[in-house]
Amino acid sequence: MLFHGQDDRALRQAAVAGTFYPDSPVLLRQMVEELLENANPPKPKGKILGLACPHAGYQYSGFVAAHGYKLLRGLRYEVVVVMAPSHQEHFVGASIFPGRAYETPLGSMESDRELAHALAHASEFANLSWYGHRSEHSLEVQLPFLQVVLPGVPIVPIVIGEYDEEFCSGFGKALARCLAGRRALLVASTDLYHGYSYDDCIVTDEATLSRVLDWDIAGLCRGLELGQYQACGGGPLVTAMVALRQLGANRAQVVARSNSADVVGERGGWTVGYAAIVFTQEGAGD
């Protein structure tokens, strides 16, 4: 377990407010509420243990993400573990936020520091570190949704750098051990296809999502490494699936899917795929 950067009392201030989402608290809450109001996700069977949601600007992927987050309204959790990929800093493994809270225009989200420390001690693949946290958007954009649908619930923010199947398996199992017996939610932040072909986006996302829906965790991880599938948050997604399987999840359901070309109504340019996936334990109560 290592410590890097600022001390563990520090706040992580919002880095992408005003770009990925509004920096006005009033406008941000209004936007999130409108996205949630307009979302109409199918009700999944069983107990919701995890989500995978996209992380583009709200004008692009917010509506897809809202389909996942709307399903959390009225549910109770003790803690939310949010895992996201690193787009800005290069490192290996998991960087667990050591600070006191993440801030957004809607206020501070306190970190469950006891759980963060326990997880760092439980896994050789993780460090308590500021690496990846300072300016990363993919984790931050999940938080306003959580602040609206699960107000006051503490978080454990984790940014994942370079990964492989050994990391995802080892860290995912450690995460499951630390969460056993707790009412915890896992959120994996990921977009899907990135490229210039709309048709390739549709085909590639279908292939990627089929591995998720089949719970083919090893096949998904290998396919991501080989480029057969695409998910920029592949590390968080595969790790979450390992942990969720250990915690009893037995069903995955895509509750919304789109891409940037369909959102803006224009094909032919850079295209990013989006999906909201809900992981549940069927046979368990809500």
Mean of the pLDDT values across residues 186-209?
Answer: 98
> CA-to-CA distance for 95 and 161, rounded, in angstroms?
8
- In this structure, is residue 1 part of a structural domain? no
User: What is the per-residue pLDDT across 166-192, written as a single tens digit (0 to 9) for each?
Assistant: 999 999 999 999 999 999 999 999 999
- Counting residues of the chain whose pLDDT is more than 90, the rounded percentage is 93
Burial of 16: CB neighbours in 10 Å, binned 0-12, 13-18, 19+: middle
Q: What's this model's pTM, rounded to 2 decimal places?
A: 0.95
Taking 80 as the threshold, does the pLDDT of residue 230 lie above it?
Answer: yes
Taking 60 as the threshold, does the pLDDT of residue 1 lie above it?
Answer: no
Range of 65's domain? Answer: 11-281
pLDDT for 284: 61
- In this structure, is residue 3 part of a structural domain? no
Q: Into how many domains does the chain fold?
A: 1
Q: Is 89 helix (H, G, I), strand (E, B) or coil?
A: coil
- In this structure, is residue 6 part of a structural domain? no
pLDDT for 225: 94
- In this structure, is residue 148 part of a structural domain? yes
pLDDT for 268: 87
Across 6-15, 179-188, 259-268, least confident range? 6-15
User: What is the per-residue pLDDT across 128-179, written as a single tens digit (0 to 9) for each?
Assistant: 999 999 999 999 999 999 999 999 999 999 999 999 999 999 999 999 999 9
- In this structure, is residue 92 part of a structural domain? yes
Taking 90 as the threshold, does the pLDDT of residue 2 lie above it?
Answer: no
- In this structure, is residue 17 part of a structural domain? yes
* Distant-in-sequence, close-in-space partners of 14: CB < 8 Å, separation ≥ 6: 23, 103, 104, 105, 140
> CA-to-CA distance for 159 and 75, rounded, in angstroms?
25
- In this structure, is residue 2 part of a structural domain? no
Taking 50 as the threshold, does the pLDDT of residue 3 lie above it?
Answer: no
Which position has the token pair 């089929």? 210
- In this structure, is residue 286 part of a structural domain? no
CATH number, domain with residue 230: 3.40.830.10
User: What is the per-residue pLDDT across 42-75, written as a single tens digit (0 to 9) for each?
Assistant: 999 999 999 999 999 999 999 999 999 999 999 9
> CA-to-CA distance for 11 and 101, rounded, in angstroms?
5
CA dihedral 64→66→67→71, nearest 10 degrees, is 160
| Neighbour order of strands in the sheet with 107-110 | 11-12, 101-104, 107-110
Which position has the token pair 């896992």? 186
* 117, 3 Cβ separation under 8 angstroms: no
Mean of the pLDDT values across residues 80-108?
Answer: 96
Taking 80 as the threshold, does the pLDDT of residue 98 lie above it?
Answer: yes
Provide the mean pLDDT of the chain. Answer: 95
Q: Are strands 79-85 and 251-259 parallel, antiparallel or unpaired?
A: unpaired
